[in-house]
Amino acid sequence: MRFIADIMVGKLAKYLRMAGHDVLYINTASDDEIIKIAIDTGRMVLTRDSLMLARKEFKNGTLKNLYIKNEKLKNQLGQIKSDLKISLKPNLVRCVECNQILVRVKKEDIKNKIPPYVFKTQQGFLYCKKCDKYYWKGTHYQNIKNIFLDIGQ
Ligand SMILES: [Zn+2]
């Protein structure tokens, strides 16, 4: 399942990426642009905007959507899990910032690019070519895991 998130659910988009899901999020896109991209790429629209859902593309079934009911992230993730039955377990598959698939990199090759403590304590590293950013299973990863556990696995 692939998604496009509107401007009101940007944080949710990032958390879905942390679970490896393909979520486009363009915070400058208008409703028209979001709808066009969703049609062109076959994505489900995640939105909190009921006006958006009044549009014909949703009413006539051209486009799928999920109306996100709550403004709290935890409740949003809970809704995604119960409505769509998709897995919400953290994994390092996708860049949280840009949705790009990460590539595995050798620890020895990036010694100068990461903090010494991280180099000493971590094993697996991934890289986003688009953002020039490295990922590993550090404290942040553990925090995400706890949030996902909280909404019930
Ligand atoms: Zn990126």
The residue ranges of every structural domain in the chain are 2-84, 102-135
Ligand 1 mean position, distance from CA 153 (Å): 27
pLDDT tens string 67-104: 999 999 999 999 999 999 999 999 999 999 999 999 99
pLDDT tens string 101-150: 999 999 999 999 999 999 999 999 999 999 999 999 988 888 888 888 88
Ligand 1 mean position, distance from CA 94 (Å): 8
This prediction has a pTM of 0.92
Question: pLDDT value at position 149?
Answer: 87
Spatial separation of the C-alpha atoms in residues 105 and 96, rounded to whole Å: 17
Question: pLDDT value at position 106?
Answer: 95
Residue 106, both tokens: 């050798």
Ligand 1 mean position, distance from CA 50 (Å): 30
All residues with CB under 5 Å from ion ligand 1: 95, 97-98, 100, 128, 130-131
Which residues partner with 2 through β-bridges? 22
Closest CA to 88 of 138, 16, 140: 16
Ligand 1 mean position, distance from CA 104 (Å): 14
Superfamily of domain 2-84: Response regulator (3.40.50.2300)
Question: pLDDT value at position 151?
Answer: 84
Ligand 1 mean position, distance from CA 39 (Å): 24
pLDDT tens string 18-72: 999 999 999 999 999 999 999 999 999 999 999 999 999 999 999 999 999 999 9
Give the sheet arrangement for strand 133-135, strand by strand: 103-105, 125-128, 133-135
End-to-end Cα separation, the chain, in angstroms: 19
Half-sphere exposure in the Cβ direction for 146 (13 Å, CA): 6
